[in-house]
Amino acid sequence: MADTDEGTAAGGSAGDRLVSAVAEVSADDGPFSSPAENASDLRSVLVTSVLDLEKLDLDLHRGTHHWVPRSQRLFGGQIIGQALVAAARSVSDDFFAHSLHCYFVRAGDPKVPVLYQVERTRDGRSFLVRSVKAIQHGKPIFICQASFQLQQPSPLHHQFTMPAVPLPEELLTVEELIQKYLSIPHLGENAKLGLNKILAEEIPIEIKPVNPPDFYSRVAMEPKKLFWVRAKGHIGEGNMKLHCCVAAYVSDYSFLGTALLPYPNYRLQFSASLDHAMWFHCTFRADQWMLYECESPWAGNSRGLVHGRLWRRDGVLAASCAQEAVLRVKAGSKL
């Protein structure tokens, strides 16, 4: 299982809850060789480092780590993104990822690299299937199947309507929200320490919550949340394989916390992703703002299920995802 860093969740001291709430919204030139469109652009660290796998042999790659969550376990989104990079390297440029289905089977160790072993399960005329096994200490920590499709036009097309929300230019980033919280008079030292630790983290994505957490409120909320998200830095056009890998990485951020919104009086003792699925619907750019719509239709039996939709800002549904995780809680203290 991979800890998803949904952290210490609701409950605890007011300072702890603030830190937890903010944290929750919290080849040659990369995984695929492609020249930078503009030499003055700052390339995204997701391209140059996080998703840049070392090729060891045919269909065998090694990945290292960039951001490690407070749990000190590997971030699940990084394993998903790196596995999709490994799979995508084994298919021709005219095939694009349309879905992936993953299971986390052991916790990842951030102190050692991850080996990604790709099996070319099936090559068809329209669809290709790749199986990927992520290995540490001689054992699989993650298994994934990814399917790629040759682009095919169709008269069938429909989608849900994108939620009406403020544009990202009208909202504050998580970092700006933290600075705002730090200006609250008489803010406790523990809260200040925790918030400054978050500011010091080098997370490679940018988030703008649509409804940011209120420091002083502690009420049950509907298990839904919305935030704008994009990769930091430049990725560029023309490489949908890479944008899908980045979106897979991004999809695991602040996801499971949605299932905890109705339970402000419980503390999260342990969380770990069990599985993750994703479907890619159209072209998009992961370095441009996309709206992430998250909702949890069910929780029970110490598990929680979350669905997500990534929207382009022009209202087109770019990708859908789903995840189930272990969620173990205990009653928290009253304010």
CATH 2.40.160.210 is held by the domain 14-150+166-331: yes
pLDDT tens digits, one per residue of 248-307: 999 998 899 999 999 988 989 999 999 999 999 999 999 999 999 999 999 999 999 999
- Separation in Å, CA 67 to CA 62, 70, 80, 202, 234: 16, 10, 14, 7, 18
Q: Residues with catalytic annotation?
A: 252, 273, 323
Amino acid identity at 122: R
Helix axes 189-200, 174-182, angle to 10 degrees: 150
Q: pLDDT digits over 32-65, tens only?
A: 433 334 433 588 988 888 899 999 999 999 999 7
Give CA–CA dist 132/100, Å, rounded. 10
Residue 179 Rama label (left phi>0; alpha psi -120 to 50; beta): alpha
Per-residue pLDDT of the chain (335 residues; tens, 9 = 90+): 544 433 333 333 333 444 344 444 443 334 443 333 443 358 898 888 889 999 999 999 999 977 776 667 889 999 999 999 999 999 999 999 999 999 999 999 999 999 999 999 999 999 999 999 999 999 999 999 999 999 999 999 999 999 999 999 999 999 999 898 888 888 888 888 888 888 877 789 999 999 886 655 678 899 999 999 999 999 988 789 999 999 999 999 889 999 999 998 898 999 999 999 999 999 999 999 999 999 999 999 999 999 999 999 999 999 999 999 999 999 874 43
DSSP helix/strand/coil, 18: helix
Q: How far apart are CA 183 and CA 166, in angstroms?
A: 24
Would you put residue 233 in left (φ > 0), alpha (ψ -120 to 50) or beta? left
The pTM assigned to this predicted structure is 0.86
